[in-house]
Chain A
Amino acid sequence: MSSLSVLPPAWILILGALLVPLIRGRSRIAYVLALPVLSFVQLLGLFGVPEGAHLQVELLGYTLTLARVDKLSLVFGVIFHLVAFLSIIYAAHVKDAVQHIAGLVYAGAGIAAVFAGDLITLFVYWELTAIASVFLIWARRTERSYRAGMRYLIIQVGSGVLLLAGTILHYRATGSLAFDHLGLGSLGTDLIFLAFGIKCAFPFLHNWLQDAYPEATVTGTVFLSAFTTKLAVYALARGYAGTEILIPIGVIMTIFPIFFAVIENDLRRVLAYSLNNQLGFMVVGIGVGTEMALNGTVSHAFAHLLYKALLFMSMGAVLYRAGTIKASELGGLYKSMPLTATFCIIGALSISAFPLFSGFVSKSMIISAVGEHHLTLAFLGLMFASAGVMEHSGIKIPFFAFFAHDSGIRCKEAPANMLIAMGVTAALCIGIGVVPGPLYSLLPYEVEYQPYTATHVMTSFQLLLWAALAFAVLIRTGLYPAETPSVNLDFDWTYRRLLPRVVGAVGRGFRWVEGRVLDRAQRNIGKFLDGVYRHHGPPGVFARTWPTGSTVLWIAVMLAAYLLLYYLR
């Protein structure tokens, strides 16, 4: 309990971030690097405390749990700290205080969220990740990034609003705010599921990811790639393990982004599609929900956080040095940036799950769990997606940035801090692949899985190298589509183009109807006033003085009509 007696987990990062503007120069670098180390030391203290709820506070009659400690929260706590530290090294050269503050608060909120024991605390950190992270996009300070950031913020905060609404309904139905297994079945938990689904980039809810991440700063994208989506994976694993609908959702997530990644020209956007595809594997594992599948999901999230950060770091370094990240403008950079190219290839081999690299020891656990359940379609889907990963991240990213045709760009190698961050991350990717034991020991359940069997190694090599051969054939025969400056329509078209058009058309329709109605009303009122004037004005028929006799006659006519009607009834 000692490490919790001072502050809840990760508050060192959140509160520490506020002092960043006061410190300048080299001391600032030392300071921002010290914060995750201190916070990690606090986290290590949590390994000694008994599992369960700690740091409970009463607020307006509700009990909030600021630190729920168990193996699931601890493993996410560890990897989030590790990636935060590596991202901060990568961003050490950045002078802009806003980016350091945003990065620290964002990482802190992400870490604090995985220790939230109740839905209200989760909601607060959920929204804090959204608000802090948008500054990493806005920090690019372009019109484009401002707009992308706005769209991102609306969707992220929207997800939080759904989470809150779901929480309220769930509380009214059950009287509980605890964030444990929720499962589908009531409106409250369905809404929470949807909130998690937005942040996890489920199909049709995914496009904020590909829209916003590539618009962030060079270093901001590395932070962004880590926390938001993996927080959602954690939340789904906590609340919806074994929810079968997650299996088809996950399989679709692994497959559809592949096709977009093939034709995308912005290499950081290719990585965003690839990130979406990787989340699919994790979601399938949660859907299967067995101990082995959940171990697979958690270990894959762990490995993925490192290799995905490494890939975004290498592409960030290319953008930083070459000034562009468009595949159509790049090529041949291995001559100028050999170290970055090497690190990128290590990331590519890891995400493709080559034996001896991290993806191999994690993804296979999910696929084996699917196999053990004899889910044939899901199994084939994940295999197909694995070939797709080889395409977009294994080959396309390193090939078009560093090889392909020589673009003639000659630039400096990445700055030293970026190289250190990439080097350490690459070493971890290999380390986990070669010696998976330490990672397995962190997983929520006992691991009885052996990744290095003859069958697994041979079949993986066959799948991946034959896929690489297909690439060679496609390139040599000229069938591989050329990289072209372009944008590709995705689901964001519905709210960036269709919705404004529909709203515009509806607005124009209303204006037309309004115009017609007003016009007609004006004419009718005019006619009515004319009529009134005609009948009641000085020359009008009602302005005349009528003799009493004619009035009596009209009254008699009326009475006769009344009598007639009375008899007819």
Chain B
Amino acid sequence: MSPGRKHWLDEPRNVTRLVWTLASVCVALVIGDLAYHKHVHFGFEAWFGFYGFFGFAAFFFIVIAGKHLRKILMRDEDYYDE
């Protein structure tokens, strides 16, 4: 594959399109909650859009918490080689 060739993802506009497509699918999935009867083990699972909200919040929390964890845990690459 030639190094100079432009790929579809090299175009920032296309990446933006991808993100908006993902966002639209996400919204559609939550609206989809209205279209069927959920079989659940716990009451909270039946809340409108619960899984979507939970997935978004959990992911966001994990990344931000990891970022702060670095302040305590991160060392130079040769820390153990000294």
- Chain A interfacial positions (CB closer than 8 Å to B): 144, 258-260, 262-263, 334-336, 338, 368, 371-372, 374, 376, 379, 383-384, 387-388, 390-391, 403, 406, 410, 453-455, 458-474, 476, 479-481, 484-490, 496-497
Contacts and interface: CB of A to CB of B under 8 A. Distances in A.
Contacts of B26: 462, 465-466, 469
A413 to B, nearest CB: 9
11 contacts: A262-B69, A263-B66, A335-B3, A371-B42, A374-B41, A379-B41, A387-B59, A462-B33, A466-B56, A489-B72, A489-B75
Given A260-B73, A387-B55, A479-B64, 12 more contacts: A259-B65, A335-B7, A338-B1, A387-B54, A390-B55, A463-B55, A466-B56, A467-B55, A467-B59, A468-B22, A485-B77, A489-B72
Interface range on chain B (Cβ under 8 Å from partner): 35 or more
Interface string B42-70: 10010001011111111110111111011
B76 interface: yes
Contacts of B58: 383-384, 387-388, 467
Given A466-B26, A470-B60, A487-B77, A459 B45 contact: yes
Which of B60, B75, B79 is the most central at the interface, judged by chain A CB atoms within 10 Å of its CB? B60
Contacts of A410: 1, 3
B51 A463 contact: yes
A335 B7 CA distance: 8
Nearest to A255: B62
A391 B70 CA distance: 17
Contacts of A384: 54, 58
Interface of B: 1, 3, 5, 7, 9-10, 19, 22-23, 25-26, 29-30, 32-33, 36, 38-42, 45, 49, 51-60, 62-67, 69-70, 72-77, 79-81
A466 B36 contact: no
B34 to A, nearest CB: 11
B55 A466 contact: yes
B25 A458 contact: no
Contacts of A259: 62, 65-66, 69
A476 B58 CA distance: 18
Contact of B74 (A263, A473, A476): A263
B22 A479 contact: no
Nearest to A338: B1
A374 B42 contact: yes
Closest 6 CB pairs of A and B: A262-B66, A371-B41, A387-B58, A470-B59, A463-B55, A462-B51
A338 B53 CA distance: 33
Contacts of B1: 335-336, 338, 410
A403 B9 contact: yes
Contacts of A497: 80
